[in-house]
């Protein structure tokens, strides 16, 4: 059986993880919006492309996906012991 201070500590950890997930999701949303914007601005006929920037943003989105999944697993693990 866990004591009161351990429960409070786990509760704070859960809140911190949820906040971090929220920040990562906001970053994802921003990256997706930037990719859409860059795709709309591209004009290959005129030589205007943003392939490197788009690729970097897509890689960031994938990294954020992984971070979120990792934190969700951590959150579930904490919640199951709480």
Domain that holds residue 45: 4-81
- The confidence score (pLDDT) of residue 82 equals 58
- The confidence score (pLDDT) of residue 25 equals 97
- The confidence score (pLDDT) of residue 80 equals 83
Return the DSSP state at 49. Answer: -
| Whether pLDDT at 1 is above 50 | no
**Each residue's pLDDT tens digit, 27-63:** 999 999 999 999 999 999 999 999 999 999 999 999 9
The pTM assigned to this predicted structure is: 0.81
pLDDT, mean of residues 17-24: 97
The SS3 assignment for 43 reads: strand
Give residues with Cβ within 8 angstroms of 22, minimum separation 6: none
Instruction: Work out how many domains the chain is built from and give that number.
Output: 1
């Amino acid at each position: 059986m866990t004591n009161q201070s351990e429960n409070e500590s786990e509760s704070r950890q859960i809140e911190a993880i949820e906040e971090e997930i929220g920040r990562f999701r906001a970053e994802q949303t921003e990256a997706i919006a930037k990719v859409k914007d860059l795709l709309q601005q591209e004009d290959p006929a005129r030589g205007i492309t943003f392939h490197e920037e788009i690729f970097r943003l897509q890689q960031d989105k994938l990294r954020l996906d992984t971070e979120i999944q990792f934190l969700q697993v951590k959150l579930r693990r904490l919640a199951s012991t709480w």
